[in-house]
Amino acid sequence: MKILFVVADIYFSEPLGVMVLSAVCKHSGHDTRLAVIARSNLESVLDDFLPDVVAYSTMTSDETAFINANRTVVSWSSKTGHPLKRIMGGPHPTYFPDVIHKFDLDAICAGDGERAILALLDAFAEGKDPSDIPNISTKVQPLLIKEVVENMDEIPFADRTIFYDAAPDMLSHGIRSVLTMKGCPYKCTYCFNHAYNKLFKGDGRKLLRRRSVDNVISEIRHIRKHFPTVRFIRFADDVFVIKKDEWFEEFCDRFPKEVGLPFYCLIRANSFTEDVARLLRKAGCKSVCMSVEAGSAHVRNTVLKRNMSDDLLVSAFSIARKFGINIWGTTILGIPGTTLKDDFESINFAKRLRIVYPAFTIFAPFPGTELTEHSIALGLLDENFDYGLTSLTNQSVLSGYTKDEKNTQLNLFYLAPIFCYFPKLLFRTLPWFSQQHWLSPVYKVLGSLFTAYLLGRKIFPGAQPKGIAKIIKAVAVHISYLAGNENIHRRNIGLDVIEKEKTTTA
């Protein structure tokens, strides 16, 4: 069968979920292609490829884009008389299964889709009811059977060809993404992971699953052979290091000898000990994402359930400096139940930590998360809120802030990373500058340029495309993306907050 995968947009991060599923499908003899809504003429792609199945990979904040794309697909099928099936996977249908009726889809996939998609394609080909396929729901039958893919080594390497055929300009960028593990044991209230664990736990299912070091290194060797522009590896796991264990020690011993590329990963401060930092540095780690989330210990630990003291965070960031590992540290503004004063407290704390890239986001509610339910309980969010409007780069959607406060938060999103680098005297002027709303367009450009500089020079050094023209184009894409592309509402503060929503589903 011919499967057309559809994503809303791309930044500089490879869409691993779609790429893995494409590899699974190709391995079983199917033909695949990728369409990017923001880049492709979808009708032309349909005319050229004539798919049997259109598979949407959807985050909640992409819903508006997919509503329009789905209309195009339905209209094209009716106009040409070419029958096709429409399915959807990803975080949105996993936590918002009613989308199957909203889009009148043939099926949706919740959670892991590597086995489900093959069984679904077989059911379509044979005209059978797919309701008894694990992780699959239909319009008449909600999710019956749940499964997780425990042996990740059985999954083919991600199909990067499908991505670079759709976005050839991305090939010049040196970052390649690799997933070594699925699952996260933590219970942060703003994240999908606790909701996923709640949905899939039980019946002996193993929610934390990791590929062997052999398998990971083999994939990276495959990348180096077939995509030699790779200069930097980005490990896309929700958390790369939970503790210093045998897998981690083996990885840190073998990776510099057998691969020898610089890399980036995500880690929590409670896991970032001197021993772990020393091994990471030895293995070639240049940067990590390590979240702060709130300057107030009460908000951080009671509201967000991070379970991290101020002293622990100060120690972790100090260890990073000691071992020369650059930190991308994220902090949330506009947390439900907090005030603008709390936002400034968080920025002050981020400056105190001396973060290399102090990134800030504005709280974005997503269905299924504890913090969203908390927002509704506080009366700050309507129970029927349209989650398709959610974005971390737009104003807060909570009713607890005035219009001026929301504008100020948005200015802080762009200005705070810059001001964290200023000496104390200039740093104290941030409240005044953040309230000059007439300068917001200027702040967007300055903030986007500063972020592009930090990402390119400090977090992913050497990964930027070669040549002035390509660098200018990459910066332009970055500014457009961070400065507020209103056509497609996207989660964002770059590569990894986005990744928090991604699962390997259709």
Q: Residue 426: pLDDT above 60? A: yes
User: What are the backbone dihedrals phi and psi of residue 136, each rounded to the nearest 5 degrees, phi first?
Assistant: -110, 135
Task: Output 262 or 494, whichever has higher pLDDT.
Answer: 262
Confidence check: pLDDT of 497 > 50:
no
CA 273 – CA 174 distance, rounded (Å): 29
Give the residue range(s) of CATH 3.40.50.280 domains in the chain.
Answer: 2-137
Residue 505's pLDDT is 44
Q: What pLDDT is recorded for position 228?
A: 87
Over residues 166-193, the mean pLDDT reads: 91
Mean of all residue pLDDT scores within the chain: 90
Query: Could you say which DSSP state residue 271 is in?
Result: G
The set of residues, in sequence order, having a beta carbon less than 8 Å from that of 308 and lying 6+ positions away, is 268, 269, 270, 300, 301
Q: What pLDDT, on a 0 to 100 scale, did the predictor assign at position 199?
A: 86
| Alpha-carbon 389 to chain mean position | 17
pLDDT in tens, 253-291: 999 999 999 999 999 999 999 999 999 999 999 999 999
Distance of CA 395 to the CA centre of its chain: 20
CA 361 to CA 335: how far, in whole Å?
Answer: 10
Counting residues of the chain whose pLDDT is more than 70, the rounded percentage is 91
- Structure confidence at residue 1 as a pLDDT band (50, 70, 90): very high
CA distance linking residue 374 with residue 380, whole number of Å: 9
What residue spans in the chain does CATH classification 3.80.30.20 cover?
174-499
What is the arithmetic mean of pLDDT over 350-364? 96
Per-residue pLDDT, 500: 42
Residue 410, pLDDT > 60, answer yes
Q: Which token pair is 483?
A: 């400065």
pLDDT tens, 340-355? 999 999 999 999 999 9
Q: What is the CATH number of domain 174-499?
A: 3.80.30.20
Report the C-alpha gap between 43 and 104 in whole angstroms: 19
Question: With pLDDT > 90 as the criterion, what percentage of the chain qualifies?
Answer: 76
Q: Give which of 157, 128, 122, 141 is closest to 21, Cα–Cα.
A: 157
CATH 3.40.50.2300 fits 2-137, yes or no: no
Tens-digit pLDDT profile for residues 146-159: 999 999 999 999 99
pLDDT the model gives residue 385:
85
Residue 483 has pLDDT above 90, yes or no: no
Given this model, what pLDDT does residue 161 score? 96
Q: What is the mean pLDDT of residues 426-445?
A: 96
CA-based torsion, 123, 127, 132, 137: positive or negative: positive
Residue that wins the pLDDT comparison between 441 and 59:
441
Q: 377: pLDDT confidence band, cut at 50, 70 and 90? A: very high
The predicted structure's pLDDT at residue 486 = 38
- How far is Cα 216 from Cα 224, in angstroms, rounded to an integer? 13
pLDDT bucket at 79, cuts 50 / 70 / 90 = very high
Tens digits of per-residue pLDDT, 228-248?
899 999 999 999 999 999 999
Report the pLDDT value the prediction gives residue 503, as an integer from 0 to 100. 39
pLDDT at 321 over 70: yes
For residue 19, pLDDT over 60 is answered with yes
Q: What is the pLDDT at residue 396?
A: 92
Nearest to 224 by CA among 232, 234, 212, 235: 232
Q: What residues form DSSP beta bridges with 34?
A: 5
Intra-chain end-to-end CA distance of the chain, in Å: 15
pTM of the model: 0.90
